[in-house]
Structures are given as C-alpha cells and as structure tokens.
C-alpha cells in the first residue's frame, strides 16, 4: 500500500489563485505565490489557508502541512488595497476576523511546518508564529509593522509574547524594527535557522521526523501545548477596524506618506 493510499488522489481546490497546493505522500504542501505584490495576502488567500487547515484536520492519513513562499517572499502581510478574487463570498462571512486562518491552524490536529524562505512581515510573521515547526532560511527577515498602520493585531500580540517574551515583544511591536534570521533564531521567534541552500533538506528532515511519530499522540501534544496559550482578543481588532486612526493608517500606507494621526 502506498503511503498516501488513505488520502484523496488530489489536493483540494482552496479557492485562491495565489496558493499553489499539492499532496506529496502524507504531507499537504502550500506555497504562497503572489510575488508581484511581495506575497501580500488578500482576504481570499487567508480564507484559503483556513480551508486548508479545515481540510487537513479531516484527513486521517495526513501527517503534516508544509507552508512556504515563493522567491524571496514568505509573506508581506495583508493587502490593504481590498483586492480579492471572491468579494461576494467574503462578504457572506459576517465576522471580519473569521476568514483569518490563525485559530484554525492551531486547532488543526496536523503539524504545520513553516518553511520560511524570505521576508516575513506582519501577517507573514503571524502565520509563522501560529505554525508548530518553523525553519527559516538565513536570508529571512522579520518585522511587526502593524502599529505603523494603526492596527492592533490580537493574533500577533498574543503569540509574539509567547514566542519571545514580554520585553522583546514590546520592542518589536513599538519600534517596528526589522530583524534578520540570526537575531530571530536567537530570540526564539523561529525554531531553527539554516543556510538558504540547506532549507529544503532541513524541511524534508523535519517532515520525515514528524512522520515517524504517533499520529494520535502528536495531535494530543499539539492540543495540550496550544491549550496553554492565551486566546487572541479578537475584539481588539473588531473595535478598531473602522476607527479614524486605523482608517488614517491604512490610507497613509496606500498613499505612501506618513500618517497624520487623529488625536
């Protein structure tokens, strides 16, 4: 029997042209591919990742999900232009935070591996923080610029503190400073940093290691580990999304100017 005999013959259509999907053995591979916009996430891209987590959770024969980017980009955060391949479908989801995949990735019983090939800013960093195993190229760069746009991101706040501790989290959030892979590894922002040319081999080794563990036991361990994390306060974002400050921050970003914050 082939190692994927108890899996579907094909990966699911997740509803986004910017997410390349394929099955390889017992691993679902997802590759973010919107390089013309530095892999910035539209809402339907986020929703596609949510669907991936939901689909993966239902596949008894699946061991892991491997998430990566394309070229020099892992993910540059949310696309503030409002562009979407499925605006009508997104409008049907009443909760503006529900298409975000972060909670679904953590609740998924499969191990999510982030192969961080390059720049991971904002939402790209948040995705990495919600994955279970993170392996970064030494070319990767990390940044939390949300406050420059007037965005209080609850998913980032909760998981950044858990990863690097309160003093470092405050520094990253309040200064929006970019850090390189070496510093990210030293502070615990990612689990492992490897030379770029070794990224594929290191990712394959991690996936092979995961495949050798007991499926029920690792799902139980993931649930227990993530159960120790505090829930993200999604009301923080919902309350701010239409505020004058957030509107000004996003408008200033789109107009490539410094924001004039309302006081």
pLDDT at 194 over 60: yes
Q: Is residue 189 part of a domain?
A: yes
- Residue 163, in any domain of the structure: yes
Cα gap 156→237, rounded to integer Å: 11
Q: Nearest Cα to 136, choosing from 187, 180, 106?
A: 180
State residue 204 phi and psi, 5-degree precision.
-60, -40
In tens, the pLDDT along 161-193 reads 999 999 999 999 999 999 999 999 999 999 999
The pairing of beta strand 179-180 with beta strand 141-143: antiparallel
Summarize pLDDT for 4-29 with one digit per residue, the tens. Answer: 557 877 889 999 999 999 999 999 99
Q: How far is CA 244 from CA 1, 76, 82, 114, 219, in A?
A: 59, 24, 18, 35, 43
Is residue 109 in some structural domain? yes
| Residue 262 clears pLDDT 80, i.e. is over it | yes
Phi, psi of 177 (to 5 degrees): -80, 135
Determine the length of the chain: 263
Question: Does residue 48 lie in a domain region?
Answer: yes
Residue 166: CATH number of its domain = 3.90.226.10
- What is the tens place of the pLDDT at every residue in 229-247? 999 998 888 888 878 999 9
> In total, how many domains does the chain have?
1
Q: Please name the helix (run of DSSP H) or strand (run of DSSP E) that holds residue 171, with its range, or none.
A: helix 166-175
Cα gap 64→150, rounded to integer Å: 35
**Residue 41: inside a domain:** yes
Q: Domain for residue 6, yes or no? A: no
Q: Which domain holds residue 48?
A: 19-254
Give the burial string for 235-262 (b: 16+ CB within 10 Å, else e).
ebbeebeeeebbebbbebbeeeeebeee
pLDDT of residue 236: 86
Q: Is residue 2 part of a domain?
A: no
170 part of a folded domain: yes
CA dist 7 and 17 (Å) reads 23
pLDDT at 94: 43
Average pLDDT across the chain, whole number:
91
Distances (CA, A) of 31 to 17, 67, 68, 70, 189: 11, 6, 5, 7, 21
């Amino acid at each position: 029997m082939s190692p994927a005999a108890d899996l579907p013959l094909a990966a699911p259509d997740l509803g986004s042209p910017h997410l390349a999907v394929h099955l390889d053995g017992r691993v679902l591979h997802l590759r973010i591919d919107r390089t013309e916009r530095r892999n910035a996430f539209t809402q339907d891209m986020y929703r596609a990742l949510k669907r991936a987590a939901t689909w993966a959770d239902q596949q008894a024969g699946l061991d892991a999900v491997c998430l990566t980017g394309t070229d020099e980009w892992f993910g540059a955060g949310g696309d503030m232009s409002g562009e979407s391949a499925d605006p009508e479908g997104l409008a049907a989801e009443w909760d503006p935070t529900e298409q975000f995949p972060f909670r679904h990735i953590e609740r998924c019983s499969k191990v999510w591996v982030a192969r961080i090939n390059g720049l991971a800013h904002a939402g790209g960093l948040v995705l990495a923080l919600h994955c279970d195993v993170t392996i970064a190229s030494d070319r990767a760069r990390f940044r939390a610029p949300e406050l420059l746009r007037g965005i209080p991101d609850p998913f980032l706040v909760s998981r950044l503190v858990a990863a690097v501790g309160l003093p470092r989290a405050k520094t990253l959030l309040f200064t929006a400073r970019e850090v390189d892979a070496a510093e990210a590894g030293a502070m615990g922002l990612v689990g492992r940093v490897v030379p770029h040319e070794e990224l594929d081999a290191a990712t394959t080794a991690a996936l092979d290691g995961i495949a050798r563990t007991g499926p029920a036991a690792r799902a139980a361990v993931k649930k227990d580990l993530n159960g120790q994390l505090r829930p993200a306060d999604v009301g923080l974002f919902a309350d701010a999304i239409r505020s004058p400050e957030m509107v000004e921050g996003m408008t200033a970003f789109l107009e490539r100017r410094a924001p004039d914050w309302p006081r």
